[in-house]
Amino acid sequence: MKSDVGIALKNLIFAVSTLMAAVHKLTEDLYEDSFDLIALHTSLEDFALGYALNLALKSNFKRRRRDLDISARVTIPIFEWKDDLNDRYWTFFTNKGISQDVVAENGFFKEEPSYRNYHMISEYREVDYFLKIEQDGSESHRQAENEKITTRLLTISKVITAYTVETQKLKSKNNLIF
């Protein structure tokens, strides 16, 4: 009987350690880079950029019904497209949000509202929009596809420049989980 309890205890310890390893592995998989990011510099408004992207990429971007709520005062419009033909999920969003802060009661400018800028990816403050592409495939295949996409983006007359961003080096990568 004592040996049965010992065997049962060993089996239980093995099962718990296996489960803990599985949970740890799952957590690592969640933070894996599963998307590519292309930066866009343009003076176009978001709806005009969506229209231009639809023409240049032969896509079908549509604005989400609900914007991404960053805080009570900052929302970011998100445009998305599910490309079933190539098994990709695309989103584009502005990098810049503006919030109106509560004004202090005292001070010289107490009658004037105060504004604060918010950046989705603070490492790239000068970027106007980002195009996020979730796709499967090897690294070399994804790079080749991103080069084709970037070339097409540069055909849009109001797009000043477009380039791929290395997502592994981003510090604010968690802002892109939406």
CA distance 45 to 160: 14
Task: Kindly state the average pLDDT of the residues 133-143.
Answer: 86
Which range of residues forms the domain containing residue 4?
Answer: 1-32
List, in sequence order, every residue forming a beta bridge with 96; answer none if it has no partner.
119
Question: Do 137 and 57 share a domain, yes or no?
Answer: yes
Question: Do 28 and 1 share a domain, yes or no?
Answer: yes
pLDDT tens sequence across 89-120: 999 999 987 776 665 566 666 667 666 777 88
For residue 26, pLDDT over 80 is answered with no
Question: Do 12 and 96 share a domain, yes or no?
Answer: no
pLDDT tens sequence across 33-70: 578 999 999 999 999 999 999 999 999 999 999 888 77
Selected residue with higher pLDDT from 135 and 28: 135
Question: Do 92 and 9 share a domain, yes or no?
Answer: no
Q: Which residues, 6+ apart, have CB-to-CB distance to 27 below 8 Å?
A: none
Question: Do 75 and 26 share a domain, yes or no?
Answer: no
Report the domain count for the chain: 2
The CATH number of the domain holding residue 79 is: 3.30.310
Question: Do 123 and 139 share a domain, yes or no?
Answer: yes
Question: Do 85 and 1 share a domain, yes or no?
Answer: no
Least confident of 9-23, 69-83, 124-138: 9-23
Question: Do 53 and 139 share a domain, yes or no?
Answer: yes
Stated as kind and residue range, the H or E segment containing 99 is strand 96-101
